[in-house]
Every structure is written in structure tokens, then in C-alpha cells.
Chain A
Amino acid sequence: MSTANTDTASKAAAFSTTATVLLVDDEPVSRLSMVARLKRMGLRVLEASNGKEGLAILRRERPDLTILDWVMPEMDGPTVCEQVRQDPDIHSSQLILMTSHDQPEQIAEGLARGADDFLSKSASKQEILARVQSGLRAASLVRNIESTRDQLRIKQAELEGELQSAASYVRSLLPAAGPVAPGIHMSWTYRPSLALGGDLFNCSSWDEHSITFYILDASGHGVSPALRAASLSTFLRADNLRHYMDDSDPARMMAEANRQYPLTEDGSYFTLWIGSFDRRTGQLRYTTAGHGGALIHRQNETVEWLTHSQLPLGFESDTQYKSSAIQVTDGDRVILMSDGIYEAPASTGELWGTTRLEATLMAHRSAPLGEALPALMAEAERWNGSSVFPDDAALLGLEFRL
């Protein structure tokens, strides 16, 4: 054997597992010659004598590299390339098209129709070796990328599953529907954003004559704000807050929450609105830390936003909070909402806004609360153009029958 043979054999040994090459050529003499050459390179060789047969073998065997003659009966080389590129199962296959050295315009056509590389029928041994090796290298790279992509998809699905699981947990913290206390009826709607957020609300009795309710928003997206929101909502349970105070004073509650939930290391914080209603006085006291989503929609149809300017939780540990107070009368509705609702963007980027929100509320004033809130949400969705908002959309309504 000549030195050329040992040369090619040692180069072939560079492949850790035996690569497979499919050769498609209708002419038996040149096919025999090329098959022998490829085998001498240490490769496993499959053969086909026309394009149709070649394509069938390619689909079945998934060779690392396919070498195609240009002119063939049944289906020519370029057509095989086109067929391969259109088939999602095999479209990343490595394809070398054999050209005649006297037809350079074949290169442009070959590339356009899907070939990766070219081999002239009159190429030297060295060139054949080089192009085949180059093709096998590319095929190996593609296989790596596809394998990594497949693993990523699995990981992605797992992560989605975990996000779903976290979302379910957050949802389980929402209050049960129905009357929260005699004469006070609660209704709510909750639309989490596509990327899990951290909006939560709740409403419960403090004692036989008071109820407390709140809405919170943990900054950011993903599992972290959801976890943080769950933590704060647990802290805000009446049975926990009673360790800190006897009176359901929203300002005191806010101060405690502020002390317990400073800014996190990565700068995450909460906005929070807390209200406390005492049926003996008919008074609603409230305070806010950066959360503007609270209003009272009176029986006489006026809308008043229940907010004042205040930093979110966690910025200064010794903040003194002030609470405001209003009188609630029979038939009034207090509605808490995520800013994701009045900040719902249209496709143009314009926000829905509080004016449009108020108009919608007024339009549904005579409808029961359980219909008015979904109608409000539906209107925001129509504006947004989708039922999924960029942020969570939480909506809690209380109707007072006193």
C-alpha cells in the first residue's frame, strides 16, 4: 500500500466513532470508484443510484454526510437538496453536490437550492479528502447544536412547569369568594401575567365589627416576586398581625410590614395598600406605600381614588405612615386593582388610563359587583388586544350593604 493510504487511514482515525457517508450517483463506474475511496478513508458508506432512492436512504439512515451527483434520473442532485431542506426531520443534513469543473455557474444554483458544499468530479484525492472531512466536521457541529437545543427545550419545559406550579400556589392564597362579613360582599378576578408576577390581595375579618383588606405588588417577574408576595401575604394575616397590635390600624400594619420587609439585596420591594373598615362607625381607614390602585365608587356614581403619595415598603425602616379616612355609605363599592389594569397598553403603546377605567366603572354601576368586575377586566383586555397583560391584573371589589 502506498503512503497515500496510510495517510488517509490515519486521518480517518481522527473520527472517534465511524461516520457514515451516503453516496448518490447513477453511473456505476464512478460510483464504485468513489465508494472505494470513501471506504479507504475509514468511513461507513451507503450507496444509491438515483436521487429518489438516495432521499429514501437519507431519511431512513440519517448519514453524517451525503454526496450527490448533479445529473441523475428520477431525481437530480439539486432537487434532492431542495427536498431535504423542506423536510423538518432532515433539513439540517450535510450535503455535498458534485459539479463539473467546467460549469462554475453550478455553484450559485447549487447553493440556492440547498447544497452545503461542492466537489468537482475531477477533484484531486487531497481535495476529496479535505471536503469530506470538512463536511463531516460541519455535520458533527450541527449534531452538537441540535442535541444542545433539545436539552434546552427539556429544561425550558421543566422551568415552565415550575413556574406553573408557583403560579398555582400564589393563586391558592387568594381569598374564597362570597360574603366576608355580614353586609359586605366580595368579588374578585385575577389574571396573572405571562411571566409570573407578584400581585396578591386578601380580605378578612379582624374581629366582629372590623374587616381588613389589602392589595400588594412585589416588584419584578418570575418565581422570586411570587415567593416574596406569598411571604408578605402570610405576614399580613390577621392572626399574625394581632401579635403586633390590638387595633386594626392600617398605619401600624404598614409600619410593621415596612420593618419586616426591607429592600432585598437586588433592590426588590413591595407596594402595598391596606384598608380597615369598622361597621360601628362606617369609617374606612386606609394607608398606602406606593400602591395607587384603590378607589371608592359611590352609589351616587362618583369615583374617588384612595391614595396619597408615599414610598414603597422597605426604603426606610423607621417610616411613619399616616392613614386617611372616609365614610362608607350603603351601596358604595371599594375596588382594589393592580396598576397592570389601568396601565394596560394598547398595541400603539398608549395606556388604558384611569379616565377610561372610571368611565367603564360608571357604565356598569347598576350591574351586580360579580358582573361589573369582569366587565371592567374585559374592557381592559379589549384595549390591550389580548387576555394576557404584561403585568399581573388583580381586581378585588367590596360592596357595602349597611
Chain B
Amino acid sequence: MSAADAFNLAEALAHVDEDAELFLTLAEVFVEQAPVDMAATQAAVDAGDAEAVSRAAHRLKGAIMQFSAPRAYEAAKELEALGRAGTLDRAASVCGNVDRELQQLLAALRAYIESGSAA
């Protein structure tokens, strides 16, 4: 699974009108914030709090949306839907998916930041 798979750089850059500096900033903020949000999502799932799961997953989903990362996005979206519907029986497993995809996205973004790719 290469870094290129986790997110689509070209699409993500197009989303910010080719502002590479802005994209770098977004990546840096995300790399710091997303692990916190992921932990909160996990905690909500563990507590069985459907509304909190929905809110936390929604927040993660909104951030992920900025990076054109469809797998991570779909996983977060699925978890949010479960939370909203109040049916948490599959929540733990879906949350695991979110975490897995998110880790890959984070790894790819860290690599991007480190490679100093500011156009």
C-alpha cells in the first residue's frame, strides 16, 4: 500500500486552487489534530454513546474530505451513519476500519510534509 494510494495529491491540490503552501498548512494541522479526533471517536464507540460517535465521526469526515482520500472518507461516513441511526453493534469494527485507513493517510501526509514538497 503506497503513500500515493492513501490520498490523491493532484485532486487535493486542485481543491485548494493549487495553493501548495495552504495545502501544506492543512496537512500539518491535520497530522496534529486527527489523532486527537480519532481517540475521541474511539472513546465514544467504547462508551456506546451513539450521538457522540456520530458527532466525532462527522468531524473526522469533514477533515478527511480536504485530502481526497476516498477510503478513509467512506469509513468515517459509515461510522457517522451508524452513530446517527443509533445502531452501534457494528461500530467497533467500522471504527477499526476508520483507524486503519486514517493511519495510512497520516503516514502518507507525514511523508509529504517531510519531503518538503512545497511548489
Residues of A within 8 A of B (CB): 1-2, 4-5, 8, 25-30, 32-33, 36-37, 40, 69, 71, 73, 100, 102, 121-122, 125
Contacts and interface: CB of A to CB of B under 8 A. Distances in A.
Given A71-B55, A71-B58, A102-B77, A29 B63 contact: yes
Contacts of A71: 54-55, 58-59
Interface of B: 15-19, 22, 25-26, 29-30, 33, 54-55, 58-59, 62-63, 65-66, 77
Given A26-B59, A102-B77, A33 B16 contact: yes
B85 to A, nearest CB: 12
A352 B62 CA distance: 72
B77 A33 contact: no
Contacts of B33: 28-29
B17 A29 contact: no
Contact of B26 (A1, A29, A122): A29
Nearest to A25: B62
A2 B66 contact: no
9 contacts: A4-B17, A25-B62, A27-B59, A28-B63, A30-B65, A33-B16, A33-B26, A71-B55, A71-B58
A121 B65 contact: yes
Given A1-B18, A2-B17, A37-B17, A121 B62 contact: yes
A40 B21 CA distance: 14
A262 B2 CA distance: 101
Nearest to A26: B59
B59 A33 contact: no
A73 B52 CA distance: 11
B25 A32 contact: yes
Contact of A30 (B22, B55, B63, B77): B63
A100 B54 CA distance: 13
